[in-house]
A and B are shown apart, each in its own frame.
Chain A
Amino acid sequence: MSEAAVSVWQLRWRRLRRDWPALAGAGVLVALYLACRAAPWLEDWLGVSGVETDLLSRFEPADGQHWLGSDEAGRDELCRLLRGGQVSLSIGFMAALGSSLVGTVIGACAGYFRGKVDMVLMRFTDFVLALPGLPVLIILAAIDLTKLGFSQDFVRSGDAGYWRIVAIVTLLGWTTVARLVRAATLALAEREFVLAARAQGASAWRVLWVHVLPNAISPVIVATTLRMGGVLLTESALSFLGVGIQPPATSWGSMLTNAQELIATAPLLAIYPGALVLVSVIAINFFGDGLQSAFDPRSDPG
Chain B
Amino acid sequence: MGRFLSFRLLGAAVVLLAKSFVIFALIGLMPGDPIDLMINANPETTPEQMAHLRAIYGVDQSIWLRYVHWLTDALGGDFGFSRIQHRPVLDIVIPALGNTLILTGVAFVISTVLAITLGTLAALRRGSWVDRTINLFAFAGISVPSFWLGLLFIYVFAVKLGWLPAGGMPRPEQGWRGMAAHLALPVATLVIVEVGGLTRYARSAMIEVLGQDFIRTARAKGLTNQRMLLRHALRNALIPVLTLIALQLGGLFSGAALTEAMFAWRGMGRLILEAILGNDYNLALVCLLFVTATILLANILADIAYTWLDPRISLGGRRK
Contacts and interface: CB of A to CB of B under 8 A. Distances in A.
A135 B152 CA distance: 24
A208 B277 CA distance: 44
B159 interface: yes
B273 A263 contact: no
Interface stretch (B19-27, B84-92, B219-227, B232-240): B19-27
Nearest to B28: A147
A264 B159 contact: yes
A212 interface: no
A144 B30 contact: yes
A277 interface: yes
B112 to A, nearest CB: 21
Contacts of B155: 263, 267, 270-271
B145 A237 contact: yes
A289 B203 CA distance: 14
Interface string B303-320: 000000000000000001
B148 A183 contact: no
Contacts of B18: 127
Nearest to A130: B295
Which among B29, B32, B148, B292 has the highest number of chain A CB atoms within 10 Å?
A: B148
Interface string B252-285: 0010011001100000000011001100000010
Contacts of B257: 134-135
A119 B194 CA distance: 32
Question: What interface size band does chain A fall in?
Answer: 35 or more
B258 A144 contact: no
Nearest to B143: A281
A142 B31 contact: yes
B296 interface: yes
Nearest to A284: B143
Contact of B273 (A140, A233, A241, A289): A241
Contact of B276 (A130, A142, A263): A142
B151 A259 contact: yes
B295 A282 contact: no
A237 B144 CA distance: 11
A282 B148 CA distance: 15
A10 to B, nearest CB: 26
Contact of B142 (A134, A242, A270, A285): A285
B187 interface: no
Nearest to A271: B152
B254 A132 contact: yes
B108 interface: no
Interface in B137-169: 139-140, 142-149, 151-152, 154-155, 159
Contacts of B29: 143-144, 147-148
Contacts of A256: 145, 147-148
A270 B151 contact: yes
B15 interface: yes
Contacts of A271: 152, 155
B299 interface: yes
A139 B276 contact: yes
Interface in A266-297: 267, 270-271, 274, 277-278, 281-282, 284-286, 289
Decide if the interface of chain A is mainly helix, strand, loop or mixed. Answer: helix
B291 interface: yes
Contacts of A233: 143, 145
B30 A278 contact: no
Contact of A131 (B145, B284, B292, B320): B292
A140 B261 CA distance: 19
A132 B295 contact: yes
Contact of B19 (A131, A282, A285): A131
B116 to A, nearest CB: 21
Contacts of A236: 145, 148
B118 interface: no
A274 B30 CA distance: 29
Given A138-B273, A138-B276, A259-B148, A132 B143 contact: no
A33 B149 CA distance: 24
A285 B140 CA distance: 9
Contact of A282 (B15, B143, B147, B250): B143
Nearest to B275: A135
A285 B143 contact: yes
Contacts of B195: none
B246 interface: no
Contacts of B140: 278, 282
A139 B30 contact: yes
B139 A286 contact: yes
Interface in B70-95: none
Q: Which of B27, B144, B287 has the most CB of A within 10 A?
A: B144
For A135, A147, A233, A284, the residue with the greatest tally of chain B CB atoms inside 10 Å of its CB is: A135
B107 interface: no
Interface string B16-46: 0011000100110111100000000000000
23 contacts: A131-B19, A132-B288, A132-B292, A132-B295, A139-B27, A139-B30, A139-B284, A140-B26, A142-B277, A143-B26, A144-B29, A144-B31, A144-B32, A148-B29, A233-B145, A236-B148, A237-B145, A237-B147, A240-B145, A259-B151, A260-B262, A263-B155, A285-B142
Interface of A: 126-127, 130-136, 138-140, 142-144, 147-148, 183, 229, 233, 236-237, 240-243, 256, 259-260, 263-264, 267, 270-271, 274, 277-278, 281-282, 284-286, 289
Given A144-B29, A274-B149, A285-B143, 12 more contacts: A127-B19, A130-B250, A132-B254, A135-B276, A135-B288, A139-B27, A142-B31, A183-B320, A267-B159, A270-B148, A270-B151, A278-B143
- Counting from the closest, the 7 A-B pairs by CB-CB distance are A274-B148, A281-B143, A144-B31, A282-B143, A143-B29, A132-B254, A132-B291
